[in-house]
């Protein structure tokens, strides 16, 4: 959407994967994109935040925030102005995605909420095939058949399709594909169709096939990252 429509706006910014980043760094990128103000590494961004708010109100601006994360991030980015805006002619738009509506409800009107649907069968097939067979010149019927079983088992969850597709890419052993499908179906049955649990089960398939030393390394990195 951003690439399709951003050239219809005077200023625009795409803030990718905000959640794990330091909010000051995100603020600086937004300030540069909208106000053409590039700050030095140690320069304080707080004194310039009003420029973002002013730009949002006076120009036609598009901002897309990917995985906004913490509740107050939108406020810190000065992107909550539309909730209190009195200027009905304001043409700026902010699109935000988040896993949890509770993170957004203080900044976004209920009428602006959109629950994203899962992928339809053809979309799911295209996504999985792209990641699983990107280097293949030809796909045999056996792999086509088990691919459809895996796609159906993922039930339209994009990240599951992408993870499994990347994991199985360039693996030519049909038994490994069958084992991945078996584990995936096991996760679905155990979780009784929970999309979140299903996703974690899909992630675990890749983890289970790491060698012991790589599993230990993964857990060490995960523990350090969570501190």
What number is the average pLDDT over the span 190-204? Answer: 54
With cut-offs at 50, 70 and 90, classify the pLDDT of residue 209: low
Helix H or strand E encompassing 7: none
Q: What is the pLDDT of residue 24?
A: 92
The stretches of the chain forming alpha helices (DSSP H) are 2-5, 23-35, 49-58, 73-76, 81-84, 121-132, 141-154, 158-168, 174-191, 195-208, 212-226
Residue 161 predicted with pLDDT over 60: yes
Q: What is the pLDDT of residue 202?
A: 64
Domain ranges of the chain: 2-112, 121-226
Q: What is the pLDDT of residue 60?
A: 93
Place of tokens 């992928």: 119
Answer whether 0.75 is exceeded by the pTM: no
With cut-offs at 50, 70 and 90, classify the pLDDT of residue 84: very low
2-112 CATH: 3.30.370
Total residues found in the chain within this entry? 227
Cβ distance 191 to 155 under 8 Å?
no
CA–CA dist 74, 81 (Å, integer): 9
Digit-coded pLDDT (tens) for 90-121: 688 999 988 778 878 877 788 888 888 888 99
Q: What is the pLDDT of residue 191?
A: 33
């Amino acid at each position: 959407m951003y690439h399709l429509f951003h050239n219809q706006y005077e200023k625009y910014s795409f803030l990718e994967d905000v959640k794990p980043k330091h909010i000051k760094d995100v603020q600086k990128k937004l300030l540069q994109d909208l106000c053409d103000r590039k700050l030095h590494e140690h320069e304080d961004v707080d004194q310039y935040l009003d420029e973002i708010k002013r730009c949002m109100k006076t120009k036609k601006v598009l901002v897309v925030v990917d995985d906004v994360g913490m509740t107050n991030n939108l406020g810190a980015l000065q992107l909550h102005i539309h909730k209190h805006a009195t200027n009905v002619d304001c043409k700026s738009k902010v699109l935000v995605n988040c896993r949890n509506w509770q993170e957004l409800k203080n900044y976004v009107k209920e009428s602006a909420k959109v629950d994203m649907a899962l992928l339809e069968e053809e979309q799911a097939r295209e996504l999985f095939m792209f990641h699983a067979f990107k280097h293949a010149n030809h796909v045999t019927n056996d792999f086509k058949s088990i691919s459809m079983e895996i796609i159906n088992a993922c039930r339209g969850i994009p990240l599951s399709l992408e993870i499994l597709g990347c994991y199985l890419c360039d693996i030519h052993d049909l038994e490994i594909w069958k084992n991945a499908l078996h584990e995936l179906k096991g996760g679905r049955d155990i979780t009784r169709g929970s999309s979140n649990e299903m996703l974690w089960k899909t992630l675990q398939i890749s983890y289970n096939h790491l060698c012991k030393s790589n599993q230990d390394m993964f857990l060490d990195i995960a523990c350090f990252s969570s501190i």
